[in-house]
């Protein structure tokens, strides 16, 4: 039997209609969405399946993505006896990974990330925060440029190490915009300010750390069924104490996604992405030669299980 890792996407993977095929064809999905709506006082059927503005607001985006990922993973577990060697997620996806690992109940996780989104939004409110996608520069060059600009008083930091030649920066939107030409002169093929009002994984979220920590202590349990790979260290952890520290630090430190995949690549034969879309599958094509399967609806679930049993 193939050795696999379960991986979970973060913000940016959301889309109206995600999870609908699961909802229409699985009692597990219906039950999880009903319980989620009751727990948070959010109508998740409307949030997920009907046109609305909330899906793009981080306090709603985060639980929506986690719910769909957790549904996909729960249906897979019900259908297959394949266990992961480890689990990991991209940013928000690390919380979905914790659900999969048994370290937190999915309903508690939904409340936790709903609050996380609020705390992140509050930390950046009125600051002019934003994020930028950079393509075509190596990590060291970007780190050096950001450090030089911070020494000049600008607020810019590397936030997501997605794959070689693709980073996302966080900071003040005006500062990021002012550096577009600087990055292009340094060799960037693209430098695009994203349509976001939150600066994830940088020092601007310090207040969110203090607000989130008590809820991490309340909701996490010391019962990991499998190792989780940390976004902060790209190393495995499996205790509540470690999780509280690492998930707090995750808010103000960059996501080391490509490092996480590369560091554990030899331990598995394939990766399985759970949730809407194939964002991580796309990144993995540039990071690893191992295949990445996905479970985003009932059809892809069937194809993935067939591929694993070949």
Whose tokens are 């319980």? That residue is 35
Contacts by 175-181 with C-beta closer than 8 Å and gap 24+? 175/149, 176/130, 176/131, 176/132, 178/154, 179/145, 179/149, 179/154
Residue 256: both structure tokens together? 């080391």
- The residues, ordered by sequence, that sit 6+ positions from 9 with a Cβ below 8 Å of its Cβ are 65, 69, 89, 90, 93, 273, 275, 276, 277, 279, 280
Coil vs helix vs strand at 172? strand
Q: Which two tokens stand for residue 163?
A: 């794959």
Cβ atoms of 256 and 201 within 8 Å: the answer is no
Report the catalytic residues. Answer: 91, 201
Distance of CA 153 to the CA centre of its chain: 30
Question: How far is residue 152 CA from its own chain's centroid?
Answer: 31
Choose among 251, 252, 257: nearest CA to 271. 257
**58/118 Cα distance (integer angstroms):** 7
């Amino acid at each position: 039997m193939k050795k696999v890792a379960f991986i979970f996407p973060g913000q940016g993977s959301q889309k109206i209609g995600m999870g609908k095929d699961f909802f229409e064809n699985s009692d597990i999905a219906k039950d999880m969405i009903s319980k989620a709506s009751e727990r948070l006082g959010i109508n998740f059927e409307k949030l997920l399946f009907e046109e609305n503005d909330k899906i793009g607001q981080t306090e709603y985006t985060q639980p929506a993505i986690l719910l769909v990922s957790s549904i996909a993973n729960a249906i897979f577990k019900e259908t297959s006896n394949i266990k992961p060697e480890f689990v990991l997620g991209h940013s928000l996806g690390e919380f979905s990974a914790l659900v999969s690992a048994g370290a937190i109940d999915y309903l508690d996780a939904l409340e936790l990330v709903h609050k996380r989104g609020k705390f992140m939004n509050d930390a950046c409110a009125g600051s002019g925060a934003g994020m930028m996608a950079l393509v075509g520069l190596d990590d060291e060059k970007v780190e050096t440029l950001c450090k030089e600009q911070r020494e000049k008083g600008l607020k810019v930091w590397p936030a997501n190490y997605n794959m070689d030649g693709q980073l996302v920066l966080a900071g003040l939107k005006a500062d990021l915009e002012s550096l577009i030409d600087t990055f292009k002169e340094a060799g960037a093929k693209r430098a695009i300010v994203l349509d976001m009002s939150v600066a994830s994984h940088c020092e601007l979220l310090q207040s969110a750390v203090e607000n989130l920590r008590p809820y991490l202590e309340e909701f996490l349990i010391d019962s990991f069924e499998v190792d989780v790979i940390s976004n902060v260290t790209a190393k495995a952890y499996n205790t509540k104490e470690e999780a509280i520290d690492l998930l707090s630090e995750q808010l103000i430190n960059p996501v080391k996604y490509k490092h996480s995949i590369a560091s554990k690549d030899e331990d598995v034969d394939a990766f399985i992405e759970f949730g809407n879309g194939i964002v991580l599958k796309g990144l993995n094509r540039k990071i690893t030669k191992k295949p990445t399967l996905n479970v985003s609806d009932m059809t892809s679930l069937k194809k993935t299980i067939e591929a694993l049993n070949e």
